[in-house]
Structure 1
Amino acid sequence: MHIRKLTDQVSVSPQILPGEMADLEAAGFRSVINNRPDGEVDDQPSSSEMAQAAAAHGLAYRDIPVVPGRYDPDVIDAMAQALQEMPAPVLAFCRTGTRSTTLWALQAAREGEAEAIVKAAGEAGYDIAALAPRLRAMRHA
């Protein structure tokens, strides 16, 4: 697992496996968000497998699948709602962590400054600088 911290409340990672839920629990995570649609690759665990594994370790779980490059308002709203409702700290994952980072940034932009969001993502190893204009526009929308 390559967990990367965005804030004290939210971290992201590439794909995790059901067997790693115990490690997440031991690391203090309380919730898991899956941003990966089922069936992207043949050996990917299904969302239902992930949900069962999370529940077995007392972790809250939410499935918010994101098709690469498609960050529709309903998906951004779902991520914002999940981060508001789920116990923190939260780990969001996708194939590489980029979709989860982008989705976090888009929902955070409603109240946060674009530059701080881009910086936090960069410090976690995700370059989302190209997203800055959209983040600024969301703040002023």
Structure 2
Amino acid sequence: MELRKIDDQITVAPQISVDDVAELARLGFKTLVANRPDHEEPGQPGMSDLEAAAKANGLEWVYQPVESGHITDEDVDRFAPMIQQAEKPVLAFCRSGTRCTVLWALSAARDTPAGDVVSKAGNAGYDLSGLAPRLAQQAAKKG
């Protein structure tokens, strides 16, 4: 399991397994966010199985599937309040972690300078410099 910490509030990861969930709870995560659609590719764990494992291990479960490469403003509008209200720390996962990072970045840009957002993502291994126009657009939606 590859965990990439963005900050003290959120960490992202590529696809996790049902067996990873107990370890995530042991590591202190409180909320598990799935940004990957169920059945996106053959062989990925079922979201209902991951949800059951999350609940069995005392984790909050949020299923917010987003289509890879097509993150809409509506997706960000749903993600922003969810991530603010979620019990922290949060582990968000998708196929590679990129989708979760982009969702986080676009929502964080509403309250955090874009340079700080890009820097935090970069420190976690995600180059979001190409998102500058969308980050600026989201910054206009402060609060």
The alignment's TM-score, normalised by the length of structure 1, stands at: 0.96
- State percent identity of aligned pairs: 45
Counterparts of 2:65 and 2:92 in 1: how far apart (Å)?
A: 11
Specify the code of the residue in structure 2 equivalent to 1:47. M
Partner of 1:65: 65
Partner of 1:54: 54
Counterparts of 2:134 and 2:84 in 1: how far apart (Å)?
A: 22
SS of structure 1 residue aligned to 2:19: helix
- Match runs of 1:1-141 below 5 Å: 1-141=1-141
8 Å Cα contact 1:36/1:94 also seen in 2 = yes
Counterparts of 1:6 and 1:17 in 2: how far apart (Å)?
A: 21
Specify the code of the residue in structure 2 equivalent to 1:53. A
Greater CA drift, 66-75 or 25-34 = 66-75
Counterparts of 2:133 and 2:41 in 1: how far apart (Å)?
A: 32
Q: Detail structure 1 runs of 4+ shifted over 4 Å in the superposition.
A: none
Specify the code of the residue in structure 2 equivalent to 1:81. P
SS of structure 2 residue aligned to 1:87: coil
Specify the code of the residue in structure 2 equivalent to 1:54. A
8 Å Cα contact 1:13/1:97 also seen in 2 = yes
Counterparts of 1:59 and 1:130 in 2: how far apart (Å)?
A: 34
Give the deviation of 1:81 after TM superposition. 2.0
SS of structure 2 residue aligned to 1:101: helix
Specify the code of the residue in structure 1 equivalent to 2:118. V
Counterparts of 1:134 and 1:74 in 2: how far apart (Å)?
A: 13
Specify the code of the residue in structure 1 equivalent to 2:21. M
8 Å Cα contact 1:71/1:103 also seen in 2 = yes
